[in-house]
Amino acid sequence: MPINYIYPEYEIIRDKNKCIKCKVCVRQCSNEAHTYDEELDCLYEHNERCVNCHRCVALCPTRALKIVKTDHTFRENYNFTGELINEIYRQAESGGVLLSSMGNPKPFPVYWDKLLINASQVTNPSIDPLREPMETKVFLGKKVSKVEFDENGEVITKGYPNLELSMPILFSAMSYGSISKNAHEALARAAQELGIYYNTGEGGLHKDFYKYGKNTIVQVASGRFGVHKGYLEAGAAIEIKMGQGAKPGIGGHLPGEKIGEDISATRMIPQGTDAISPAPHHDIYSIEDLRQLVYSLKEATNYEKPVIVKIAAVHNVAAIASGIARSGADIIAIDGFRGGTGAAPTRIRDNVGIPIELALAAVDQRLREEGIRNEVSIVIAGSIRNSADIVKAVALGADAVYIGTAALLAIGCHLCRDCQSGKCNWGIATQREDLVKRLNPDIAYKRLVNLLTAWNHEIMEMMGGMGINSIEALRGNRLMLRGVGLNEKELEIFGIKHAGE
Amino acid sequence: MIKREGEIRIPSGCAICGFINKSGKKVSGDVIVKSISYMHDRSNGLGGGFAGYGIYPEYKDLYAFHIFFEDLNARVETERFLEKYFDIVNLSRIPVKKVKSITDSPLIWRYFVEPISTKLAASQLDEKEYVVQKVLKINSDIKGAYVFSSGKNMGVFKAVGFPEDIGEFYRLEEYEGYMWTAHGRYPTNTPGWWGGAHPFALLDHTIVHNGEISSYDANRRFVEMFGYVCTLLTDTEVITYIFDYLTRRQNLSYTDVANIIAAPFWEHIERMEPNQREKFKFFRNTFSSLLITGPFSILVGFEGGLMALNDRLKLRSMVAAEKDDTLYVASEECAIRAICPDVDKIWSPKGGEPIIATLYEKEGASICR
Q: How many CB atoms lie within 10 A of CB A312?
A: 28
Beta-carbon separation of B250 and A135 below 8 A = no
Exposure string over B100-137, b if 16+ CB within 10 A, otherwise e = eebeeebbbbbbbbbbbeeebeebeeeebbbbbebbbe
The answer, for A285 touching chain B at a CB cutoff of 8 Å, is no
Residue in chain A closest to B8 (alpha carbons) equals A501
Is B368 noted as a catalytic residue in this protein? no
A 10 A CB-CB count for A412 gives 23
Contact A155 B282 (CB under 8 A): yes
B3 in contact with A, Cβ within 8 Å? no
pLDDT digits (tens, 9 = 90+) for B231-241: 888 899 999 99
In a domain, A117, yes or no: no
Is residue A242 within 8 A of residue A314, CB to CB? The reply is no
Average pLDDT over residues A115-134: 93
Q: Check CB contact under 8 Å for A123 and B313.
A: no
Residue B193 sits at φ, ψ, to 5 deg, of: -160, 165
- Asked if residue B5 belongs to a domain, the reply is no
CB within 8 Å: A147 and B9? no
Overall number of domains in chain B: 1
B1 CB neighbour count, 10 Å cutoff? 5
The pLDDT value given to residue B1: 62
Radius of gyration of chain A from Cα atoms? 24
Q: Verify that A79 and A150 share a domain, yes or no.
A: no
For residue B181, which of B360, B78, B15, B301 has the smallest C-alpha distance? B301
B176, burial (CB in 10 Å: exposed 0-12, middle 13-18, buried 19+): middle
- Contact assignment for A139 to B285 by CB distance below 8 Å: yes
With CB atoms and an 8 Å threshold, state whether A476 touches B293.
no
Q: What is the dihedral of CA A233, A239, A240, A244, to 10 degrees?
A: -150
Residues A15 and A144 in one domain: no
Question: What does the pLDDT average to over A404-426?
Answer: 96
Is A153 in contact with B366 (Cβ distance < 8 A)? Answer: yes
B6 domain residue, yes or no: no
Query: Do the Cβ atoms of A475 and B286 come within 8 Å?
Result: no
Query: Is B314 among the domain residues?
Result: yes
Q: Which domain holds residue A35?
A: 2-96
List the alpha helices (DSSP H) in A411-469: 433-436, 441-466
Rounded CA separation B179/B303 (Å): 10
Contact (Cβ atoms closer than 8 angstroms) between residue A392 and residue A462: no
The count of domains in chain A is 2
Statement to judge: residues A40 and A153 lie in one domain: no
Residue A347 to residue A354: CA distance in whole angstroms: 14
Instruction: Single out the residue of B4, B2, B1 nearest to residue B232, CA to CA.
Output: B4
Kindly determine whether residue A368 and residue B279, on different chains, have CB atoms separated by under 8 Å.
no
DSSP codes, A61-104? TT--EEEEE----PSP-SSS-HHHHHHHHHHHHH----EE-SS-
CA distance A394 to chain B (A): 10
Q: What's the CA gap between A336 and A338, in Å, rounded?
A: 5
Neighbours of B81 (CB within 10 A): 16
Helix (H) or strand (E) holding B284: helix B274-286
Taking residues A60-66, report their average pLDDT: 97
Q: Provide the shortest C-alpha distance from residue A460 to chain B (in Å).
A: 14
- A117 φ/ψ angles, rounded to the nearest 5 degrees: -100, 145
Write the residue in A470, A478, A479 that is nearest to B293 by C-beta. A470
In the predicted structure, residue A476 carries a pLDDT above the cut 70: yes
CB contact A161 to B (< 8 Å)? no
A483, A353: one domain: yes
Question: B207, B199 in Cβ contact below 8 A?
Answer: yes
* Domain annotation covers residue B92: yes
Task: Answer whether residue B188 is part of any domain.
Answer: yes
Query: Do A81 and A189 sit in the same domain of this protein?
Result: no
pLDDT band at A257 (very low <50, low <70, confident <90, very high): confident
Chain mean pLDDT for chain A: 95
Least confident among A1-5, A190-194, B356-360: A1-5
Which residue type, as a one-letter code, is found at position A123?
T
Numbers of helices and strands, H then E, in chain B: 11, 18
pLDDT of residue A204: 94
- When scoring B254, B285, B368 by the number of chain A Cβ atoms within 10 A, the one with the most, hence best to mutate, is B285
> In 3-state terms, what secondary structure has residue A311?
strand
For an interface test with B, the pick among A145, A469, A482 (most B C-beta atoms closer than 10 Å) comes out as A469
pLDDT at residue number B366: 46
Give the CATH number, domain containing residue A448: 3.20.20.70
The CATH number of whichever domain residue B212 belongs to comes to: 3.60.20.10
| CA closest to A396 among chain B residues | B218
Q: How far apart are CA B44 and CA B160, in angstroms?
A: 10
Residue A466 has pLDDT above 70, yes or no: yes
Nearest to B215 among A149, A371, A473 (CB): A473
In the DSSP assignment, the letter for residue B264 is: P
What confidence tens digit (pLDDT) does each residue in B11-40 have? 778 999 999 999 999 999 999 999 999 999
Q: Give yes or no for A135 touching B (CB within 8 A).
A: yes
Mean pLDDT of A202-214: 95
Q: Residue B323: inside a domain, yes or no?
A: yes
Q: Which one-letter DSSP state was computed for residue B249?
A: I
Q: Are A425 and A28 in contact (CB under 8 A)?
A: yes
Q: How far apart (Å, rounded) are the C-alpha atoms in residues B226 and B294?
A: 24
- B215, B229, B234, B287, best to mutate vs chain A, most A CBs in 10 Å: B215
H/E run at residue B79: helix B72-85
3-state DSSP percent of chain B in helix, strand and coil, to 5: 35, 30, 35
Strand A216-220 and strand A198-199: the pairing is parallel
Query: A176 pLDDT exceeds 90?
Result: yes
CA distance B232 to chain A (A): 15
Q: Which of A68, A96, A124 represents a domain boundary (last residue)?
A: A96
Chain A residues with CB-CB distance to B222 below 8 A? 368, 373, 476
Average of pLDDT values for A230-250? Answer: 96
Q: Assess whether pLDDT exceeds 60 at residue A120.
A: yes
Q: Is residue A442 part of a domain?
A: yes
Residues of B in contact with A475 (CB under 8 A): 218, 288-289
Q: Which of A139, A153, A473 is nearest residue B293 as measured by Cβ atoms?
A: A473
A374 touches chain B (CB under 8 A): yes
Beta bridge partners of B207: B200, B300
What's the rounded Cα separation, in Å, for the pair B317 and B22?
24
| Nearest-Cα residue of chain B relative to residue A497 | B8
A280: cis peptide before it, omega within 30°? no
Nearest alpha-carbon partner for B293 in A91, A277, A464: A464
Does A148 have pLDDT greater than 60? yes
Type of residue found at A407: A
Q: Do A478 and B217 touch (CB under 8 A)?
A: yes
Structural domain harbouring B259? 12-362
Judged by CB atoms closer than 8 Å, whether chains meet at A124 and B212 is answered as yes
Min Cα separation A473/chain B (Å): 5
Looking at this predicted complex, what is its ipTM? 0.92
Residue type, A442: D
Q: What is the mean pLDDT of residues A158-172?
A: 97
**A128 at B interface, C-beta within 8 A:** no
Task: Judge residue A2's burial from the number of C-beta atoms within 10 Å of its C-beta, 0-12 exposed, 13-18 middle, 19 or more buried.
Answer: exposed
Q: How distant is the Cα of A313 from the closest Cα of chain B, in angstroms?
A: 23
Question: What is the pLDDT averaged over residues A140-154?
Answer: 91
**A172 and A89 belong to one structural domain:** no
Low-confidence ranges of chain B (pLDDT < 50): 366-369
Residue A63 has pLDDT above 90, yes or no: yes
Taking CB atoms and an 8 Å limit, are A373 and B369 in contact across chains? no
Nearest CA to CA, how far is B342 from chain A (Å)? 33
Beta-carbon contacts of A442 under 8 Å, excluding residues fewer than 6 positions away, are none
Residue B232 domain flag: yes
Q: A169 and A54 share a domain?
A: no
* % of residues, chain A, pLDDT over 90: 93
Which CATH number covers residue A29? 3.30.70.20
Check CB contact of B317 with chain A, cutoff 8 Å. Answer: no
In a domain, B1, yes or no: no
Q: Is A331 an 8 Å CB contact of chain B?
A: no
> Is residue A195's pLDDT more than 90?
yes
Q: Is residue A138 a contact partner of residue A196, using CB atoms and an 8 Å limit?
A: no
